[in-house]
Amino acid sequence: MNVTEIKTGGLGGQGVILAGMIIGRAASIYADLHATLTQSFGPEARGSACGASIVVSDESVEYPYVTKPDILVVMSQEACNQFAPEMAPGGVLLYESDLVKPHNVPEGIKTYGVPATRLAEKLQRRMVANIVMVGFFAAVTDLMDVDAVRKSVETSVPQGTESLNLEAFELGYGHGQSAKDKNTAPASAAQA
């Protein structure tokens, strides 16, 4: 059985739970995989810590909680500080490069940064930074077919915003393709 544990983390209002839902939906509905999602958030609506944990498998998921993320997607420094030390060996850390400076990253973790908010601002909508991150995730991880993730974005966002969100997805996907082509080296002990 092939199982991938994914965690998204950030602050309320950044859309990290929606990003997790899109990834889970892409796996379970459009990529013919199995997925579970759990979410956590602080008591405040905006500005408090929140996140989603997704387990993706080619068979039924027997345990729905992430114990050691293989893939960590963070949009706040707090989330990076909290979750990066728990990553599985050989994992992949995706981070919002204008808001997060990875440190305490275990040896052997590959790190990829994207200025998701700045890219979203090119579309005059900061609120789609999470969708930029989903596109970046799709490109860098190759966890599932890009069309499955794209379709999940299209069917998960509010009606009338599909075009904007798909544009944001493509910005992130293009940035991810470039980052992957550069083949970012694994994090070194100096970052730890």
**Is residue 80 over pLDDT 70?**
yes
Q: What is the pLDDT of residue 188?
A: 35
**Is residue 162 over pLDDT 80?**
yes
The letter for the amino acid at 63 is Y
**100-104 long-range contacts, Cβ below 8 Å, gap at least 24?**
100/74, 100/75, 100/76, 101/77, 102/187, 102/191, 103/191, 103/192, 104/191, 104/192
The structural domain count of the chain equals 1
With respect to residue 188, please indicate whether it lies within any of the assigned structural domains: no
Range of the domain at 21: 3-182
With respect to residue 71, please indicate whether it lies within any of the assigned structural domains: yes
pLDDT in tens, 127-153: 999 999 999 999 999 999 999 999 999
Q: What is the pLDDT of residue 1?
A: 65
With respect to residue 75, please indicate whether it lies within any of the assigned structural domains: yes
With respect to residue 190, please indicate whether it lies within any of the assigned structural domains: no
pTM for this model (two decimals): 0.90
- Look at the block and give the residue holding tokens 């440190």: 103
With respect to residue 137, please indicate whether it lies within any of the assigned structural domains: yes
**Is residue 63 over pLDDT 70?**
yes
CATH number of the domain within which 16 lies = 3.40.920.10
Greatest C-alpha distance within the chain: 46
Q: What is the pLDDT of residue 183?
A: 62
With respect to residue 165, please indicate whether it lies within any of the assigned structural domains: yes
CB atoms within 10 A of CB 103: 14
